[in-house]
Structure 1
């Protein structure tokens, strides 16, 4: 058993929801039945008062605290899934995650995840909550992740994330021509009607994404982005919010839009790119135990290289038509 402390605030769009329903939205890593059990057993406070009725309705804005104990996640089975390990010492692992790999088991993905792979690669990591995972990448986002091998390392990494002391930079290809870099500072929360989507909404949690232009194509732009915060789908939501969704993004509108006069091979390349064009290319942090400043870089994967090459060739073929 290990102690679990969680805190959050009920969001405005959750007005009228049952308490257990609202908390299952806010803490998607835990099942609704587990959350219901915590409520019934006096593990949940609302505005510092214990509430033990899962059906109680929320109004929005309530302060939530959960103080519970959970068993080690022994039900997650070790699986021999290859990990691309960029760095390892006694305290941390840095991995380069491929596409089509979920980070943590959840609804629809009970196994075959990074967590299952970590349990196989380093069995002692089972002693660390969530097998040392402190931040995530979406299933089809590639790139760098840091994992804690000890509880001490995990505690320090989580604290560093909360204080924005870990730098994460991404490369992406967005729809449309972006003429200059900028910052999107817009709060993000779960979409009020689409359970798998996130959305910009005034009552959401603060989210800040900086971006700069790396290369412009005829109807697309290659970007370098840096996160100040780490909300779910943050880059994807923010870029869609400014009308530049990522190529291939199935949730936020990155459907193929070939430019006028594009070759059939280029159109096919766009159609074949079936994930969001997003890669976590740089990770910089202070080592959680030694304090040493460390940085890792991961080159963009082959599918994005192929996409970028096709965009460059199409732009070169039509350079006389460009007005930028």
Structure 2
């Protein structure tokens, strides 16, 4: 059962939780927020800086099933599998990896259960992650060694996404090189020069436009957290449905379309590609 608190003075959600959940580490509080187990006035919130007003009701321990259909998922689409690596088509709305020990509704747990047998439990290691609301190619390794081998060549892996954005860029093609700095308190990326900022490179091409929106093909040379979301927002064309960097919506317009890696064993290039679902393209209309 969820534990309820009544807000007595204005605050942000993270500060409120840290002050009221005595005995919880700051890391655990953040994990609960990211794991969608916190609600404000009945609505799930994952934003550290979510504003709280007097008499708001904060619930801790809310259970939210992650599925594009609102039902528990038991099977994922496998687009490639060998004894070393497995690539799946992750649906939007599903975590890549669990943020809490209680959560079993994430891609790693579902795939592990899907592939395991009574006398043979499968172990998997995530090679990378996709944001909860991003669909597309997600890669796992069958051992730590295979994971490290893929990651050793990750800087030269080709990573291509589709993004539906508000408005449309004036230039048909462009490159964004703004450095990014992670803000753990707000769980977002800040853009611009800073001693802690890291280089980030995002290329985009306009593939289709409508009067108010555009479909972009995006290629990233680096893989910073929220890189595409933050860079496109900086450009002035935030991704549709991206509440953190733009405007809230029912679905976020970001899909991991293609991934090319160096295979950890035979050392040859290996490509995976999966098109976005219909409801993704429907966002253009």
TM-score by length of 1: 0.60
Indicate the structure (1 or 2) with the bigger Cα radius of gyration.
Answer: 1
Match of 2:270 in 1: 294
**CA displacement, residues 92-151 of structure 1 (integer Å, 9 cap, x when unaligned):** 10100001100111159732111211321344543xxxx310111000100001111122
Residues 121, 295 of structure 1: alpha-carbon distance in 2 compared, 3 angstrom cutoff? same
Tell me which of 126, 136, 141 is aligned to 2:129: 136
Distance 1:276 1:108 in 2: 26
Residues 107, 204 of structure 1: alpha-carbon distance in 2 compared, 3 angstrom cutoff? farther
Match of 2:235 in 1: 242
Residues 219, 105 of structure 1: alpha-carbon distance in 2 compared, 3 angstrom cutoff? same
SS of residue in 2 equivalent to 1:156: helix
Tell me which of 140, 145, 156 is aligned to 2:138: 145
SS of residue in 2 equivalent to 1:284: strand
Tell me which of 274, 277, 298 is aligned to 2:253: 277
Matched-pair contact (CA < 8 Å) for 1:254–1:276: no
Matched-pair contact (CA < 8 Å) for 1:101–1:112: yes
Tell me which of 164, 167, 176 is aligned to 1:173: 164
SS of residue in 2 equivalent to 1:252: coil
Match of 1:305 in 2: 281
Distance 1:133 1:108 in 2: 16
1:187 equivalent to 2:163? Answer no
Q: Which runs of 5+ in 1 are unaligned?
A: 1-22, 30-78, 256-272, 311-324
TM-score by length of 2: 0.68
Give the structure with the higher percent helix: 1
Cα distance, 1:80 vs. partner? 7.1
Residues 278, 109 of structure 1: alpha-carbon distance in 2 compared, 3 angstrom cutoff? farther
Residues 284, 191 of structure 1: alpha-carbon distance in 2 compared, 3 angstrom cutoff? same
**CA displacement, residues 157-200 of structure 1 (integer Å, 9 cap, x when unaligned):** 11111xx121110011111221221111122122375x222221
Match of 1:89 in 2: 82
For these two proteins, the number of residue pairs brought into alignment is: 213
SS of residue in 2 equivalent to 1:207: coil
Distance 1:192 1:104 in 2: 18
Matched-pair contact (CA < 8 Å) for 1:125–1:150: no
Q: What's the Cα RMSD here? A: 2.5
Cα distance, 1:277 vs. partner? 0.3
1:253 equivalent to 2:222? Answer no
Q: Which runs of 5+ in 2 are unaligned?
A: 1-25, 32-71
